[in-house]
Amino acid sequence: MTDYQTIIDTIGAQCRQSKDRGKVANYIPELAKVSDSKFGIHLVDSNKNNYYTGHSDEAFSIQSISKVLSLALAFTLVDNAILNRVDVEPSGDPFNHLSLLEFENGIPRNPLINAGAIVVADILVTELQDPKRDFLQFVRDLTNDQTIDFDKKVARSEKKTGFKNYAAANLLKSYGNLKNDVETVLDFYFHQCSIAMDCAQLTKAFFIFMNRGVCQRNKTYLTLGQVKRINAIMLTCGFYDEAGEFAFEVGLPGKSGVGGGIVALLPGKYCVAVWSPGLNAKGNSKLGMEALEKLTTESHQSIF
Amino acid sequence: MTDYQTIIDTIGAQCRQSKDRGKVANYIPELAKVSDSKFGIHLVDSNKNNYYTGHSDEAFSIQSISKVLSLALAFTLVDNAILNRVDVEPSGDPFNHLSLLEFENGIPRNPLINAGAIVVADILVTELQDPKRDFLQFVRDLTNDQTIDFDKKVARSEKKTGFKNYAAANLLKSYGNLKNDVETVLDFYFHQCSIAMDCAQLTKAFFIFMNRGVCQRNKTYLTLGQVKRINAIMLTCGFYDEAGEFAFEVGLPGKSGVGGGIVALLPGKYCVAVWSPGLNAKGNSKLGMEALEKLTTESHQSIF
Amino acid sequence: MTDYQTIIDTIGAQCRQSKDRGKVANYIPELAKVSDSKFGIHLVDSNKNNYYTGHSDEAFSIQSISKVLSLALAFTLVDNAILNRVDVEPSGDPFNHLSLLEFENGIPRNPLINAGAIVVADILVTELQDPKRDFLQFVRDLTNDQTIDFDKKVARSEKKTGFKNYAAANLLKSYGNLKNDVETVLDFYFHQCSIAMDCAQLTKAFFIFMNRGVCQRNKTYLTLGQVKRINAIMLTCGFYDEAGEFAFEVGLPGKSGVGGGIVALLPGKYCVAVWSPGLNAKGNSKLGMEALEKLTTESHQSIF
Amino acid sequence: MTDYQTIIDTIGAQCRQSKDRGKVANYIPELAKVSDSKFGIHLVDSNKNNYYTGHSDEAFSIQSISKVLSLALAFTLVDNAILNRVDVEPSGDPFNHLSLLEFENGIPRNPLINAGAIVVADILVTELQDPKRDFLQFVRDLTNDQTIDFDKKVARSEKKTGFKNYAAANLLKSYGNLKNDVETVLDFYFHQCSIAMDCAQLTKAFFIFMNRGVCQRNKTYLTLGQVKRINAIMLTCGFYDEAGEFAFEVGLPGKSGVGGGIVALLPGKYCVAVWSPGLNAKGNSKLGMEALEKLTTESHQSIF
C-alpha cells in the first residue's frame, strides 16, 4: 500500500525550502496581498483517510477551481445540453485569449477557459432560483461544511478590474451566447470565483470526481458518464495552455486557480489539493505543479 | 468480469448495418480505392485473451497511427531530449495547419500533428543506422510478426501528392528544426505512414502502452515514465482537433489514422483496434469513433 | 474640363435601376428601417461648384464616416501623439475583429477600425471640455451648418446592442489603452456615430481633406502633413477588409459607413459623397462602391 | 518648379553621415556580402530630366522589386484574370507569413507578398514561351538596356536557402493554386528576384507606372486602368507590414526589396529609386525609407 503521508511529508519539506516560488498574482489587488511563503497539501484516499502537511487548513481564494464545481452543478441541471453552447476541446491558447471566440462564432472552446465558464455561469443564472445562494449551498453540501462563503472583498476587487471578463461576456452576448444581462452573469461569476476554501475542504468537494459521483456522505451527485466527462475536461483543459504538460508530467485530471490552488484526483484512489500562491509563467501554481509531479512519480500511479 | 466478446459482437452488428459510414480519404489516391464497407475490431486484454469480429485480420494503411510507434522508438533513443524540438500541448487546430509553426518559431505543438511527427522522423533519421529498415524491424519485433511491411505504392502515392508535408518540412527547415535533408526525412516519413497492418497486429504493437512498457513476449521497451508520457500525448493530442471530444466521450488514450484505423487502450486492462475506412469531418474513422464510445459505455470502464 | 454633372447623372440613372442593391444593415435596429431604394450623389469641385443627383439632400446616419472627423479633430489637439496609442497599418481583418488587439497588446491596427476609433474617442474625451458638444460644434463649423445634430434614437439603439464595442472598449481598458471610463467613452462614441448628415453636407465637411486642410470658408484646420496622413489612412484603411479592393478599383482616399454612405476625394480636384443603404458582404454600400468606380473610370482620374 | 537636385543632394549628405544604418540582410548569403556604407538616389521627372547622387549607378540585387515588373508583365498577358488566383488586400502580416494562405484556402493576400508573387511567377511560366529569357527581355526593353542580367550566384544562393519559399509553393500546390512544378516555378522566381540593377536603371523601368503606361521611348505597355491598379497595389501592399506607415509618412506608391532598394513614384511627376543595403526591423531599407520621407516633405508633394 502506498504510504501517502511519507510522500507528502517529503514533498512538503522540499517545497518549503524552494527558493524559486513563482510570482503571486497581482491583477486582482486582493490576491496580491497573500504571502508566497504559504504551502499546504491535503490528500484523501478512497477510504476517506486523510494525509496533510503545511498550511492545508488555511483558506484561500479558489478562483478558477470553482469552474469545475459550477460545471458539475450545470451537468446536474441540464446534462449534455451544456454542449450546445460550449465545446470540449483544449484551447491551445493562453487563458484569457478571446480570439478563438471570434473564429468560432461565439462558442467557447471549453468550459474551463473564462469565456466558457461565463457561459456555464449564464446557464446557472437561468436555471437556479437564487443563483449565488444556491451555488454556495451546493458547494457547502458537497463539502459538508456550512461555513464556506464568498469573499466579498475579492469579488468586488475582481469586478473593478475584470475588464477582460467584461470583454468576453460582451463578445458572447454579441454572438447570442449569453441569455442574461452581462452584469448579472458577471456578478454571479465573480462571486463564484471568490469562494474561500482550504486544501482539506477542496478535497472533500472534489471527492465526487474520484468516487464515481458519490460524495463522502454517500450521496450521489453525478452519473458515471458525467464524472467521466468532467474528469476528461479537467485533464485536457484544466491548466490553460499548460494542460498537455500537466497530463504529460503528472497524468491526473485536475484544475488550477490563480489563487495558487490546484486540485487533482486519481479515480478510485485519491483526491489531492495543493496550495502555494506563487504562479509560473502559464498562471499555474509553481510549487503546486512540482508537488503533484513528485506525488505521481513517487507513488508510481497515474491514470496512464 | 467484463464479457468483451459479447460487447464487441453487438458493436460489430450495429456498425455493419450503419448507413452513415463517413467518407473514405481521397487525398492519397491509393487510399481512395478501399471499400467503405470494411469493419473490424480486435481487443486483447491484459491476460492476452483475444476478442475480435469482422475484417479484423485484413491489413490497411496505418498512416498516422505510425506516429505513436516512431515516437516510442525516439523515446528509447533520446528520451526527453525530444522535448527540445517539439512541444506536448494539444494544437486546437486541424491536423494539417501550419500556422502555429510560424507563431511558435518552428516548434510543433506536439509529436502527433504532421509537423511534429516530421521532427520525430528527423530524429530517427539522425539516430538510426538504416532508418527505414530499423524502424520496420522495431514494429516487427513489437508485433512479433516479421511479415509486416511498407506499402511502397502508398508511399509513392503520398510522395507525389504530399505538398502539405513538403510545406511543413520546408518550414521546419527554415526555422532550423530539421537537421537532415527535406527529401530524406520525408522519404522516411512517407514509408513510416505506409505500413500496412491489421487490427490484430495493431493491438500487439500497442500492447506495450497498456502493459507498463512490456510487450507480449515480456520484453521491456519503455520505462513507466515513458509509457505515462506517451499515453498522455495520445489522450490530449491523438485525434487532431477532436481530441477533447474523444477524451470526453470515450475516455481512453488512442490514435487514429486517415486509413480508417484507430487504436486505443485502457492501461492495465486492454488494448483495442478498430478499422472502418469512412472518415468523419475531423478526419477520424466515423464508425471507429462510435464503436469505441460504445465499448467504454457498455463496459463501464475508462481511465476516468 | 471634366463634365461631372453628366457623369453623375449617368451613374445615378444606372444605379436607380439596379436590382441587386445589397442588404440594409440590421444589427442596429434604427438603421434597419431605412429603405434600400434611396440613392444620392453630391460632388463639389475645388472651385466649389456643386453637382448632384437623387436623394443627395436627405440625411442619413453617417456612422463610421464620423471616425475620420474625430481623427482630424484629435490631430488638431495632440497631433502625432495619437500614434502612441494606435497604429496606422491596414488590419486585413473584418471590421469588428478583436483578435489583433490581443496579439498586439492593446494597440489597435488603425484609427478607422472600431477599436482604433474608440481610442481616438478616448483621446477626445480627455482633451475636450464638453466632448459631445465640442465635437458636434467642430462638425457644424467644418460644414458651416448649425443644424447638424446627433440622432439620439440611433445612439440609444446602438448603445443597447453594441456588445462588440463594449467588448472592444473593455479589452482596450484591460491593456491600459483607455484612460476614461468605458461608459463615458462609448457614450461619446455612439453619439459621434449617430450624427445625421446628407451627401451635400458630407462633401462640405470633407472639403478640407481635398483642399490642403482649408475649409470652404478659407479657414485652415489641418497642416499639409496632417492632411497627407489622414488621406493615407483613408486610402489604406477606409473600407475594412475591402480597402485594397477600393484602392485597386477606385483609387481614391475615402471612408464608408454602415448607414450606406461613402465619402471620397481626389486631392486638389473634388470631394464626393454617395448614399445607398444596401451593403455588400464586406459592409460597404454596394451601389456606392459601384458609383465611385464608375466615376473614376469615366473621369479618367484617380490619385494614381 | 521643384529643385530636385538640391533636395537630393541634401538628403544624400544627411544619409551618408547617418550612424544608424540598419542591418544588411543575411538570410541570403550572397546579399550579406554587400557593404552597408552604400547609398544612392536617382530621380527622373516627367520631362526625363535626371537627378542623382551617391552610388546611384552601382548595381544591386533588386529582389522583391522585381515582383512589380512580373506583375506588370502578367497584366499585359492575362489582364484581370490574375485576380482569380490572387487577392489585392494588404496582408497585415510579416512578409513571409504563410498562415493567411491557410485561412484563405490558398489565395494569397496580394501579388507582392512572396506567396502572391509565386502565383504570378506560375502565370508567367504558363504564358511565356521561354519564361526566364522572355521576362529578362521585358525588363531590358522597359529599361532600354540590354546589359541587365540575372545574378546566377544570387539565384543559386537563394535556391539553397529558400525553404520558406519552398514551403509557400508547396502550400499553394496543395490548394491547387500552382499549375506548374514547384521546382520550375521557383527556379523562375529565384532568377527573377536575382536581377541586378542600379538606381538609374530602376527609374527607367518604373517610368511606365508614373507615365500612364508609356515608357521613356514612348512605347505603351499598360492601359491607364492597369497602371492605376498596379500603383494601388504598390501603395497598399508594397512594404510588407509597413505599407500603412509608408503611405502615412511618404505618400507614394512604391516597392522595396531586401537588397536595400526602394522605387517609388508620383504619378505624372517623377519616379525615384534609392539604395541603401541596411534594413529596418520590417525588412525595408532603413535609410531608403528616411530618404523618401524627406523627399516628399521637402518637395511638399505626394499623391495625397
d(CA C272, CA A110): 49
- Shortest Cα–Cα distance, A159 to chain B (Å): 30
- Domain-embedded: residue D169: yes
Domain co-membership, B137 together with B86:
yes
Q: Does residue D37 have an active-site annotation?
A: no
pLDDT digits (tens, 9 = 90+) for C217-242: 999 999 999 999 999 999 999 998 88
Domain co-membership, B183 together with B272:
no
Residue-by-residue DSSP string for D11-37: HHHHHHH-S---EE--SSTTGGGS-TT
In SS3 terms, C162-226 reads as CHHHHHHHHHHHHCCCCCCCHHHHHHHHHHHHHCEECHHHHHHHCHHHHCCCECCCCCECCCHHH
Domain co-membership, B271 together with B284:
yes
Residue where one domain finishes, among candidates A167, A193, A219: A193
Backbone angles phi, psi at A23, to 5 degrees: -125, 125
- Shortest Cα–Cα distance, D38 to chain B (Å): 29
Taking CA atoms, A87 is separated from A158, A180, A230, B27, in Å, by 26, 20, 13, 28
Q: Is B27 annotated as a binding residue?
A: no
pLDDT digits (tens, 9 = 90+) for D29-88: 888 999 999 999 999 999 999 999 999 999 999 999 999 999 999 999 999 999 999 999
Instruction: Please answer yes or no on whether B235 and A235 come within 8 Å at the CB atom.
Output: yes
Domain co-membership, B107 together with B59:
no
pLDDT digits (tens, 9 = 90+) for C57-105: 999 999 999 999 999 999 999 999 999 999 998 876 654 567 667 777 8
Instruction: Please answer yes or no on whether C167 and A171 come within 8 Å at the CB atom.
Output: yes
Backbone angles phi, psi at A218, to 5 degrees: 70, 20
Instruction: Please answer yes or no on whether D110 and C253 come within 8 Å at the CB atom.
Output: no
Among A30, A28, A32, A40, CA closest to A114:
A28
pLDDT digits (tens, 9 = 90+) for D176-192: 999 999 999 999 999 99
Stretch among A91-95, B248-252, C277-281 having the lowest mean pLDDT? A91-95
Q: Does C164 touch chain A (CB under 8 A)?
A: yes
Q: How many CB atoms lie within 10 A of CB D13?
A: 11
Domain co-membership, D50 together with D166:
no
Which residues in D lie closer than 8 A to residue C235 (C-beta atoms)? 235-236, 247, 304
Domain co-membership, D181 together with D153:
yes
Strands C261-266 and C254-256: antiparallel
Which residues in A lie closer than 8 A to residue B251 (C-beta atoms)? 228, 231-232
Instruction: Please answer yes or no on whether D248 and C235 come within 8 Å at the CB atom.
Output: no
Residue with cell 443597447: C160
**CATH classification at residue B213:** 3.40.710.10
Q: CA nearest B99 in D: which residue?
A: D99
Domain co-membership, C95 together with C124:
yes
Domain co-membership, B117 together with B56:
no
The subunits that touch chain D, with at least 3 C-beta pairs less than 8 Å apart, are B, C
Q: How many CB atoms lie within 10 A of CB C46?
A: 14
Task: Give the pLDDT confidence score for residue A241 in this predicted structure.
Answer: 82
The one-letter amino acid at A229: R
Judging by beta carbons within 10 Å of its beta carbon (0-12, 13-18, 19+), is residue B17 exposed, middle or buried?
exposed
Across D268-285, average pLDDT: 96
- Domain-embedded: residue B71: no
d(CA C174, CA C298): 49
Question: A182-194 and A152-161 helices cross at what angle (nearest 10)?
Answer: 130
Q: Is A166 annotated as a binding residue?
A: no
Residue where one domain finishes, among candidates B165, B194, B223: B194
d(CA D120, CA D85): 9
Nearest to D167 among B97, B103, B167 (CB): B167
Domain co-membership, A92 together with A238:
no
CA atoms within 13 A on the CB side of B79: 4
d(CA B278, CA B288): 9
- Domain-embedded: residue A304: no
Which residues in D lie closer than 8 A to residue B182 (C-beta atoms)? 163, 166
At A28, the pLDDT band (50, 70, 90 cuts) reads confident
d(CA C225, CA C230): 9
Coil, strand or helix: which one is B255?
A: strand
Q: Is D64 annotated as a binding residue?
A: yes
Catalytic residue among D240, D250, D263, D274: D240
Task: Give the pLDDT confidence score for residue C30 in this predicted structure.
Answer: 84
Q: Does B101 touch chain A (CB under 8 A)?
A: no
Which residues in D lie closer than 8 A to residue B168 (C-beta atoms)? 167
Nearest to C170 among A102, A170, A174 (CB): A170
- Shortest Cα–Cα distance, D249 to chain C (Å): 7
Q: Which of residues 16-75 of D touch C (CB under 8 A)?
A: none
Q: For residue A222, what is the DSSP state?
A: S
Q: Is A258 annotated as a binding residue?
A: yes
Q: Which residues are CB-contacts of A226 (< 8 A; sequence separation ≥ 6)?
A: A72, A75, A76, A79, A213
Backbone angles phi, psi at D253, to 5 degrees: -65, 145
Strands C40-45 and C270-275: antiparallel
Question: Quick check: C175 and C105 in contact, CB under 8 A?
Answer: yes
Mean pLDDT (chain C) is 94
- The cell numbers describing A206, all together, are 472534489
Coil, strand or helix: which one is C41?
A: strand
Q: Is A52 annotated as a binding residue?
A: no
- Domain-embedded: residue B132: yes
Judging by beta carbons within 10 Å of its beta carbon (0-12, 13-18, 19+), is residue C29 exposed, middle or buried?
middle
**β-sheet with D270-275: strand ranges across:** D50-54, D40-45, D270-275, D261-266, D254-256
Compute the Cα dihedral for B237, B242, B247, B253 and give only its sign. negative
The count of domains in chain C is 2
Domain co-membership, B124 together with B147:
yes
Enter the ipTM: 0.94
d(CA A179, CA D230): 49
- The cell numbers describing C298, all together, are 469615366
Instruction: Please answer yes or no on whether B173 and D182 come within 8 Å at the CB atom.
Output: no
pLDDT of A301 higher than 70: yes
At A94, the pLDDT band (50, 70, 90 cuts) reads low
The subunits that touch chain A, with at least 3 C-beta pairs less than 8 Å apart, are B, C
Task: Give the pLDDT confidence score for residue B95 in this predicted structure.
Answer: 44
Q: Does D251 touch chain C (CB under 8 A)?
A: yes
Taking CA atoms, B173 is separated from A80, A286, D167, D261, in Å, by 45, 34, 9, 28
In SS3 terms, C105-134 reads as CCCCCCCCCHHHHHHHHHHHHHHCCCHHHH
Instruction: Please answer yes or no on whether D170 and B182 come within 8 Å at the CB atom.
Output: no
Question: Quick check: B245 and A89 in contact, CB under 8 A?
Answer: yes
Question: Quick check: B284 and B262 in contact, CB under 8 A?
Answer: yes
Task: Give the pLDDT confidence score for residue C29 in this predicted structure.
Answer: 84
- Structural domain boundaries, residue C227: 4-63+196-299
Q: How many residues are recorded in chain A?
A: 304
Instruction: Please answer yes or no on whether A174 and C168 come within 8 Å at the CB atom.
Output: no
Q: Does B253 touch chain A (CB under 8 A)?
A: yes
Task: Give the pLDDT confidence score for residue C104 in this predicted structure.
Answer: 78
- Shortest Cα–Cα distance, C63 to chain A (Å): 19
The subunits that touch chain C, with at least 3 C-beta pairs less than 8 Å apart, are A, D
Task: Give the pLDDT confidence score for residue A304 in this predicted structure.
Answer: 93
Nearest to D251 among C228, C237, C251 (CB): C228
Nearest to B229 among A227, A231, A248 (CB): A248
Task: Give the pLDDT confidence score for residue B27 in this predicted structure.
Answer: 76
Domain co-membership, A112 together with A148:
yes
Q: Does B94 touch chain A (CB under 8 A)?
A: no
Instruction: Please answer yes or no on whether A88 and B236 come within 8 Å at the CB atom.
Output: no
- Domain-embedded: residue A73: no
Question: Quick check: A213 and A228 in contact, CB under 8 A?
Answer: no
Nearest to B304 among A89, A228, A244 (CB): A228
Across A228-236, average pLDDT: 97
- b/e string for C72-91 if b means 16 or more Cβ within 10 A? bbbbeebeeebeebbbbbbb
Compute the Cα dihedral for C192, C193, C196, C198 and give only its sign. positive
Nearest to A171 among C103, C163, C182 (CB): C163
pLDDT of D95 higher than 50: no
pLDDT of D97 higher than 70: no
Domain co-membership, D76 together with D132:
yes
Q: CA nearest A27 in C: which residue?
A: C174
d(CA D208, CA D217): 10
d(CA D191, CA D185): 10
d(CA A294, CA A279): 17
Instruction: Please answer yes or no on whether D90 and C89 come within 8 Å at the CB atom.
Output: yes
Which residues in A lie closer than 8 A to residue C170 (C-beta atoms)? 163-164, 166-167, 170
Residue where one domain finishes, among candidates A193, A217, A234: A193
- Domain-embedded: residue B70: no
Q: Looking at the annotation, which residues of C are catalytic?
A: 64, 67, 189, 240, 258
Q: Does residue D67 have an active-site annotation?
A: yes
Q: Is C240 annotated as a binding residue?
A: yes
Nearest to B90 among A225, A236, A297 (CB): A236
- The cell numbers describing C253, all together, are 482616399
Q: Does A98 touch chain C (CB under 8 A)?
A: yes
- Domain-embedded: residue A71: no
Judging by beta carbons within 10 Å of its beta carbon (0-12, 13-18, 19+), is residue B13 exposed, middle or buried?
exposed
pTM exceeds 0.90 for this model:
yes
- Domain-embedded: residue B73: no
In SS3 terms, A224-286 reads as HHHHHHHHHHHHHHCCHHHHHHHHHHCCCCEEECCCCEEEEEECCCEEEEEECCEECCCCCEH
pLDDT of D138 higher than 80: yes
d(CA A237, CA D284): 42
Q: Is A89 annotated as a binding residue?
A: no
Task: Give the pLDDT confidence score for residue C94 in this predicted structure.
Answer: 53
d(CA B112, CA B66): 9
Mutate to test the interface with B, among D91, D171, D186 (most CBs of B within 10 A): D171
Stretch among A101-105, A160-164, B143-147 having the lowest mean pLDDT? A101-105
Q: Which of residues 209-238 of C touch D (CB under 8 A)?
A: 224-225, 227-229, 231-233, 235-237
